[in-house]
Chain A
Amino acid sequence: MNHRRSAEGAPYSNPYLTGAGLGLVLLAAFVVMGRGLGASGAFASSAAGAVAIVSPDRAHASSLFAGYLSADGGPWLEWLIFEIVGVSIGGVLSAWLAGRLHFEVERGPRISRRSRLFSAFAGGGVMGLGAVLARGCTSGQALTGGALLSVGSWLFMIGAFAAAYIVAPFVRRAWL
């Protein structure tokens, strides 16, 4: 159970070494850009851009979207959107070279495919609200702010882990 491996492809790499590698990538972002990594900002900026296409008035009425719309180069040239495109490319490259690239829906043994897809969507929606309130997610707050010792980022991390552990027993069926 502990050493469960994907039916296809190489086993995953050592978490400490890979984590240290990830830390060097984050450090490179500090050195090259003067900022850290992120993910949810790409969603927020593209959501702002999408709403502005459909209804510019509604987009500008939201102070959250207005911030992204007034950025240099507009919402679609947001740094994090380009970074996230890179993340997807890097993920594909790594999975392909390790023979882990294949279509599937990952789910626990007791949950249907349809329920898993629904809960992934629902979980994503809830995280969207949380990430907006917290001004970031596991990348922008936990990793980046964590490494820069931001108090708010550590509060976010503590909150996220605490809530996940509290809710975990109620959604056990989805995973185990």
Chain B
Amino acid sequence: MRAPFFEFGAFGNYGALLAAVFIGVAFGWCLERAGMGSARKLAGQFYLTDLTVFKVMFSAIITAMLGAFWLGRLGFLDLSRVYVPETFLMPQLVGGLVFGVGFVIGGLCPGTSCVAAATGRGDGAMLLGGMFTGVLLTGLVFRPLEHFYMSTSRGAFTVPQLLHVPYGVGVAIVVSVGLAGFRVAEMVERRSATSQVS
């Protein structure tokens, strides 16, 4: 059997929704285990007191990236059938900037706010409500944003294509950056721990 299973017709739309629940449960479990449902812990990333966000995110990205690369290499996973989020340069850069402002004010992101709210945190529930309101209002006044939203489209455009290097080299670059980042993160955390003791 070849993967992606859904893409090759192993199950239908209702099976896909069932898979969504199971994958979601595992996703939520990991987020909660790592403490990503705690706004104060996440905010620590931006004051360099707790770099859990970076460590969890990059461990996850590296693991999934290596897995996809090798499963593709072995011929098990047809990567051309895995949906790569399309690139729209300016909307994604500006959207990222706006998102970052909201992130440090609110302390949680959309996924982690669901974990926070579900585990009893009132701030998580408020953030969830704010997020829903923000998306709803943006959708209602979408027309003036539409032109910008569709601008600088590059389709499925990857880092290896941007740098004109093979897929494996792109993967190796991200792994190296991540591993270097982990070392720096440990150093930064040690430094901020000692500076707060003294």
B26 cross-chain contacts in A, Cβ below 8 A: 25, 28, 86, 90
Partner of A82, one of B24, B37, B82, B139: B24
Partner of A162, one of B41, B97, B102, B160: B97
B43 cross-chain contacts in A, Cβ below 8 A: 108, 174-175
B38 cross-chain contacts in A, Cβ below 8 A: 6, 12, 106
Closest B residue to A80 by beta carbon equals B20
Q: Are A18 and B57 in contact (CB under 8 A)?
A: no
Q: Are B64 and A26 in contact (CB under 8 A)?
A: yes
Closest B residue to A6 by beta carbon equals B38
Q: Are B49 and A2 in contact (CB under 8 A)?
A: yes
Number of chain B residues close to chain A: CB under 8 A: 136
B174 cross-chain contacts in A, Cβ below 8 A: 149
Q: How far is the CB of A119 from the nearest CB of chain B, in Å?
A: 5
Q: Are B6 and A34 in contact (CB under 8 A)?
A: yes
Q: Are A87 and B28 in contact (CB under 8 A)?
A: yes
Partner of B27, one of A2, A90, A102, A146: A90
Partner of A122, one of B40, B130, B170: B130
Known: A64-B139, A135-B95. A25 touches B4 (CB 8 A): no
B182 cross-chain contacts in A, Cβ below 8 A: 16
B59 cross-chain contacts in A, Cβ below 8 A: 15-20, 22-23
Main secondary structure of the interface of A (DSSP, over half): helix
Known: A30-B64, A143-B57, A164-B100. A94 touches B131 (CB 8 A): no
Closest A residue to B37 by beta carbon equals A91
Closest B residue to A176 by beta carbon equals B47
Which of B35, B60, B109, B115 is most buried by chain A, counting CB atoms within 10 A of its CB?
Answer: B60
Q: Give CA–CA (A43, B109) in the complex, Å.
A: 12
Q: Give CA–CA (A63, B139) in the complex, Å.
A: 8
B197 cross-chain contacts in A, Cβ below 8 A: 1
Q: Are B58 and A40 in contact (CB under 8 A)?
A: no
Name the interface residues of B95-142: CB closer than 8 Å to any CB of A: 95-124, 126-140, 142
A136 cross-chain contacts in B, Cβ below 8 A: 85
Closest B residue to A118 by beta carbon equals B126
A50 cross-chain contacts in B, Cβ below 8 A: 136
Closest A residue to B85 by beta carbon equals A145
Known: A39-B109, A127-B103. A105 touches B25 (CB 8 A): no
Q: How far is the CB of B77 from the nearest CB of chain A, in Å?
A: 6
Q: Are B118 and A91 in contact (CB under 8 A)?
A: yes
Q: Are B136 and A20 in contact (CB under 8 A)?
A: no
Known: A91-B32, A91-B118, A120-B39. A43 touches B131 (CB 8 A): yes
Known: A31-B3, A168-B47. A90 touches B39 (CB 8 A): no
Q: Give CA–CA (A117, B124) in the complex, Å.
A: 9
Q: Mark A79-123, 1 if CB is under 8 A from B, else 0.
A: 110111111111111110010111111111000000011111111
Q: Give CA–CA (A167, B99) in the complex, Å.
A: 11
Closest A residue to B150 by beta carbon equals A63
Q: Are B84 and A150 in contact (CB under 8 A)?
A: yes
